[in-house]
Amino acid sequence: MAVANGKAGGTAEGKGWGLCRLPFWGGGGGGGGGGSSSTNSSASLTQHSHRSSSRSQVGQAEAVGTDTGRRHSGGSTVKLMARSLLPLRRRLRLDPPTKLYFPYEPGKQARSAVRIKNTSKSHVAFKFQTTAPKSCFMRPPGGILSPGESIIATVFKFVEHPENNEKPMDQKSKVKFKIVSLKVKGPMEYVPELFDEQKDEVAVEQILQVVFLDAERPSPQIEKLKRQLAEAEAALEALKKPPEDAGPKIIGEGLVIDEWKERREKYLARQQVQGVDSV
């Protein structure tokens, strides 16, 4: 009985331990299952990290490409801004530099003048522009200057009568003139289309403001204007004159032979020879 009780106790004890060990075994089994789930979780985390890494790399590549494009466009913008901020290197020098002086004579066509000199080391084309092309014109309206060459351009403007009883010298003209320049390759014939074909290379030299002067009151500006106008007229008259004839050739001492007469005599001589041969 004792043995039977012992056995029974042992069995009950075994059962009790078994019942107590079941949770641990289940836990162990569950631990084994948890280990596999943790393995799966770590694998999924690894895949997720790889995907995140790939996405981040793609995102970084796109960001680098975008940043490169922005830098490129930004660099172009910076260059344009820097070019606009740099001081303009002028090709021409004007005298007067910023103004056009006109004698105030209402109802008449007044004249002004400006000297234009090419101060660069290349040939430069220039052109006048005005806000009032119907009442103003320039002579010449444009041209090409070689390095160091200068001309005096004459500007014509019709002076209107003052409005609202304004004083003559208080009248302000809204008309403006602009001189633009263009670097050209060597001497060539001037055509206005040069500035249309190379718009990006055209530079604004100066915007000239119209200033009226009292023609009856002596002033340095009036005297200088008169000298420039006289010089411009002299240059225009020189261009109108035909080229000087070299004159007849002088052969030997005191023997003058006119070229036309010489050609005429040769022609008549050939005609006579041909007539004799035909006979």
Length of the chain: 279
What's the pLDDT at 181?
Answer: 96
Distance, in Å, from the CA atom of 145 to the CA atom of 66, rounded to the nearest integer, reads: 48
Dihedral of alpha carbons 75, 77, 78, 83, sign: positive
Distance, in Å, from the CA atom of 84 to the CA atom of 76, rounded to the nearest integer, reads: 12
Q: What digits encode the pLDDT tens for the residues 246-257?
A: 555 555 544 455
Coil/strand/helix, residue 242: coil
Distance, in Å, from the CA atom of 55 to the CA atom of 58, rounded to the nearest integer, reads: 5
Q: What digits encode the pLDDT tens for the residues 45-75?
A: 555 555 555 555 555 555 545 555 555 555 5
Write down the residue that tokens 């985390």 correspond to.
45
Of the chain, the end-to-end C-alpha distance in Å amounts to 184
Angstrom distances, CA of residue 107 to CA of 101, 131, 158, 160, 162: 17, 20, 7, 5, 10
Say which amino acid occupies 55: R
Which strands make up the sheet holding 150-158, listed edge to edge? 92-95, 109-118, 150-158, 136-139
Residue 2 has pLDDT above 50, yes or no: no
Confidence category of residue 141, pLDDT binned at 50, 70, 90: very high
Residue 118 has pLDDT above 90, yes or no: yes
What's the pLDDT at 222?
Answer: 93
Entry pTM: 0.57
Write down the residue that tokens 């004459």 correspond to.
154
What's the pLDDT at 20?
Answer: 40
Of 3 and 246, more confident: 246
Q: HSE (CB half, 13 Å, CA atoms) of 279?
A: 6
Average pLDDT across the chain, whole number: 73
Write down the residue that tokens 């789930």 correspond to.
37
Distance, in Å, from the CA atom of 268 to the CA atom of 263, rounded to the nearest integer, reads: 9
What's the pLDDT at 271?
Answer: 72
The count of other CB atoms within 10 Å of the CB of residue 132 is 15
What's the pLDDT at 215?
Answer: 86
Contacts of 74 (CB under 8 A, 6+ apart): none
Write down the residue that tokens 């200033």 correspond to.
211
What's the pLDDT at 267?
Answer: 72
Confidence category of residue 207, pLDDT binned at 50, 70, 90: very high
The count of other CB atoms within 10 Å of the CB of residue 114 is 25
Smallest Cα–Cα separation from 102: which of 19, 219, 21, 263? 219
Angle at 64 between CA 60 and CA 67, to 5 degrees: 135
215, 222 contact by CB (below 8 A) = yes
